[in-house]
């Protein structure tokens, strides 16, 4: 059982937090920024991307005029747009255009694969060069970001989920030896990884200790000392001190805020999901996706986990083939009724031309748009649950950094390390800029922006600001791989 918006507001009564909730179960309006613990969720969908139909555009169909624009002034509402299902989420996402998995081209040691194909699916979260043997591992010291953050954040469970099972070399999560971690395909099994059979949530009506008065006394003492220093220094240094005082005031509890309960976990070990791993056909993919996202939301809300990965299918099974919009594109006329989405559309796309390309493009992009809809279902699920650890009334989505990506970038097979699709969603607002389109480089140039910098940015957003590099051990001293992705940082 999850704690719903209505139940949460009822428990709070007429208190200050209840006043921040919109009526009913609609979108929430908060009086202040979300303040719950930040979590991390990586989501992957398969089959690559055509960058030109993935980015937002101006209403006249042209590309964004500048490298940094608000998504509110752009649109995904154009013919064949891949991200059309994300129109309603533009204020909660940022589009990164021009990110590259450049590390796959370095080949700094023997035993790595210097092209970019299926072998590098683990590269997206490890930041490491992929093994030449796709059944091999990434080697010691190359964990995925979820694994590394989990070790630092200390929650009981690291959740690793997949809609349908996946092969060893198609996994998302890797341990500190660079070995794949097999995901759970059944939401019920994933649930049990977070909630043991005998788990009982704490009493939601038990009030927390009110530390607000003590915190205000400490702030008042510090403020007096800082104001004296401010008066003595003057100039730029005084301005810095004043900015610090103002920032601390914003973090200090208001009178009565400390008496509000937080941490109202609404899930017990007996609340096993009713949805299992059986997808059935393409119409069941969203159902199982939502079931996994619901379990992850519950685990985040109850403090049972702070990091998770969710893989929404891989190249196989072939559900994309049966999507009506894909079939209606005319691809059956090119490949026959027995066509397969990946082998026929994906593999043929970059070499096609003329009317054949027009047909393949319409079917290919329809499949990618369907995948976007499944990702939007994840956002909706996370946003439907109030975060009981957030005194400001934010949702789980508000306090979760969501990184949606693909295993391939924009180009033909084995050369797909450039223009890698990446969306940051949810709880980045405190340290990451949301609601933006960010073009990171000249798209048509040979410039490269290593995705390792995005991994560092996510680590910083979760408070791990001592991490200045994340990725392959042979590239740690290369300046272009180090530090956060500056255009993304708030």
pLDDT digits (tens, 9 = 90+) for 381-429: 999 999 998 988 899 999 999 999 998 888 877 778 999 999 999 987 7
Confidence at 114, pLDDT banded by 50, 70, 90 = confident
Q: What is the pLDDT of residue 7?
A: 42
Residue 33 has pLDDT above 90, yes or no: no
In the 3-class helix/strand/coil scheme, how is the chain assigned residue by residue? CCCCHHHHHHHHCCCCCHHHCCCCCCCCCCCCCCCCCCEEEEEEECCCCCHHHCCCECCCCCCCCCCEEEHHHCECCCCCCCCHHHHHHHHHEEEEEEEECHHHHCCCCCCECCCECHHHCCHHHHCCCCECCCCCCCCCCCCCHHHHHHHHHCCCEEEEEEECCCCHHHCCCECCCCCECCCECCHHHHHHHHCCCCCCCCCCCCCCCCCHHHHHHHHHHHHHHHHHHHHHHCHHHHHHHHHHHHHHHHHCCCCCHHHCCCCCCCCCCCCCCCCCCCCCCHHHHHHHHHHHHHHHHHHHHCCCEEEEEEEECCCCCCHHHHCHHHHHHHHHHHHCCCCCHHHHHHHHHCCCCHHHHHHHHHHHHHHHHHHHHHHHHHHHHHHCCECCCCCCCCECHHHEEEEEEECCCCCCCEECCCCEEEEEEEHHHHCECCCEEEECCCCCCCCCCECHHHHHHHHHHCCCCCCCCCCCHHHCCCHHHCCCCHHHEC
Q: What is the pLDDT of residue 13?
A: 33
Residue at 25 is within a domain? no
Residues 106 and 226 in one domain: no
Residues 276 and 238 in one domain: no
Confidence at 237, pLDDT banded by 50, 70, 90 = confident
Which of 370, 373, 349, 369 has the alpha carbon at shortest distance from 360? Answer: 349
Residue at 27 is within a domain? no
Cα–Cα distance measured from residue 457 to residue 40, given in angstroms and rounded to the nearest whole number: 12
Residue at 360 is within a domain? yes
Q: What is the pLDDT of residue 408?
A: 87
Average pLDDT over residues 15-25: 28
Residue at 20 is within a domain? no
Mean of the per-residue pLDDT values of the chain? 87
- Write the pLDDT tens digit of every residue in 441-454: 999 999 999 999 99
Residue at 48 is within a domain? yes
Residue 54 has pLDDT above 90, yes or no: yes
Q: What is the pLDDT of residue 46?
A: 93
Structural domains in the chain (count) = 2
Residues 250 and 313 in one domain: no
- Write the pLDDT tens digit of every residue in 60-106: 999 999 999 999 999 999 999 999 999 999 999 999 999 999 999 99
Residues 295 and 319 in one domain: yes
Domain containing residue 140: 38-202+267-488
The CATH number of residue 277's host domain is 3.40.720
Residues 102 and 159 in one domain: yes
Confidence at 248, pLDDT banded by 50, 70, 90 = low
Q: What is the pLDDT of residue 215?
A: 54
- Write the pLDDT tens digit of every residue in 120-178: 789 999 999 999 988 889 999 999 999 999 999 989 999 999 999 887 888 999 999 99
Residue at 32 is within a domain? no
Distances, alpha carbon 170 to alpha carbons 102, 117, 159, 321, in Å: 19, 11, 17, 20
Residue at 362 is within a domain? yes
Residue at 131 is within a domain? yes
Residues 235 and 107 in one domain: no
Whole-prediction pTM? 0.84
Residue 261 has pLDDT above 70, yes or no: no
Highest mean pLDDT among 218-232, 240-254, 307-321, 472-486: 472-486
Confidence at 262, pLDDT banded by 50, 70, 90 = very low
Residues 63 and 121 in one domain: yes
Residues 247 and 108 in one domain: no
Residues 399 and 369 in one domain: yes
Residue 25 has pLDDT above 50, yes or no: no
Residues 311 and 272 in one domain: yes
Contacts within 8 Å (CB) and 24+ apart, 481-485: 481/103, 481/450, 481/452, 481/453, 482/452, 482/453, 482/456, 483/453, 483/456, 484/453, 484/456, 484/457, 484/460, 485/96, 485/440, 485/449, 485/453, 485/454, 485/456, 485/457
Dihedral (CA of 154, 144, 50, 443) sign = positive
Residues 158 and 178 in one domain: yes
Residues 218 and 174 in one domain: no
Q: What is the pLDDT of residue 14?
A: 28
Q: Of 192, 225, 259, which one is at a domain's C-terminal end?
A: 259
Which of 65, 66, 67, 72 has the alpha carbon at shortest distance from 86? Answer: 72
Average pLDDT over residues 366-391: 96
- Write the pLDDT tens digit of every residue in 271-291: 999 999 999 999 999 999 999
List all residues 6 or more positions away from 358 whose beta carbon is below 8 Å from its beta carbon. Answer: none
């Amino acid at each position: 059982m999850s704690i719903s918006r209505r139940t949460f507001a009822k428990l709070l009564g007429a208190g200050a937090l209840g006043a921040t909730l919109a009526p009913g179960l609609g979108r929430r309006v908060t009086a202040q920024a979300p303040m719950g613990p930040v979590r991390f969720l990586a989501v992957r969908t398969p089959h690559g991307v055509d960058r030109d139909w993935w980015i937002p555009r101006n209403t006249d169909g042209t590309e964004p005029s500048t490298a940094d624009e608000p998504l509110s002034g752009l649109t995904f509402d154009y013919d064949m747009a891949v991200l059309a299902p994300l129109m309603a989420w533009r204020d909660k996402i940022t589009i990164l255009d021009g990110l590259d998995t450049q590390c796959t081209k370095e080949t700094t040691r023997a035993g790595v694969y210097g092209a970019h194909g299926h072998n590098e699916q683990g590269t997206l979260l490890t930041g490491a060069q992929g093994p030449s043997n796709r059944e091999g591992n990434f080697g010691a010291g190359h964990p995925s970001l979820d694994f590394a953050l989990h070790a630092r954040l200390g929650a009981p469970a690291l959740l690793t989920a997949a809609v349908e099972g996946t092969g060893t070399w198609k996994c998302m999560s890797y341990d500190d030896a660079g070995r794949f971690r097999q995901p759970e395909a059944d939401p019920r099994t994933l649930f049990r990884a977070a909630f043991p059979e005998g788990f009982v949530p704490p009493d939601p009506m038990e009030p927390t200790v009110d530390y607000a008065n003590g915190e205000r006394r400490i702030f008042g003492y510090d403020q007096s000392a800082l104001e004296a220093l401010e008066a003595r220094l003057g100039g730029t240094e005084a301005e810095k001190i004043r900015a610090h005082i103002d920032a601390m005031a914003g973090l200090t509890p208001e009178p009565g805020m400390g008496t509000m309960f937080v941490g109202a976990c609404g899930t017990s070990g007996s609340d096993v999901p009713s949805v299992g791993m059986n997808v059935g056909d393409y119409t069941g993919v969203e159902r199982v996706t939502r079931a996994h996202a619901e379990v992850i939301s519950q685990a985040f809300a109850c403090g049972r986990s702070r990091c998770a990965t969710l893989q929404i299918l891989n190249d196989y099974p072939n559900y994309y083939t049966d999507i009506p919009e894909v079939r209606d594109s005319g691809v059956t006329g090119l490949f026959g009724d027995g066509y397969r989405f990946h082998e026929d559309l994906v593999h043929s796309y970059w070499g096609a031309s003329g009317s054949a390309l027009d047909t393949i493009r319409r079917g290919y992009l329809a499949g990618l748009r369907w995948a976007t809809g499944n990702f939007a279902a994840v956002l909706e699920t996370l946003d439907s649950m109030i975060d009981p650890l957030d005194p400001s009334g934010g949702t789980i989505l508000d306090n979760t950094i969501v990184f949606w990506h693909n295993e391939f970038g924009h180009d033909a097979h084995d050369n797909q390390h450039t223009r890698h699709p990446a969306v940051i969603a949810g709880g980045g607002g405190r340290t990451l800029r949301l609601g933006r389109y960010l073009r990171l480089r000249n798209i048509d140039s040979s410039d490269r922006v290593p995705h390792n910098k995005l991994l560092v940015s996510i680590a910083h957003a979760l408070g791990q600001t001592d991490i200045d590099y994340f990725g392959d051990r042979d590239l740690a001293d290369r300046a272009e791989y180090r530090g956060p992705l500056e255009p993304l940082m708030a």
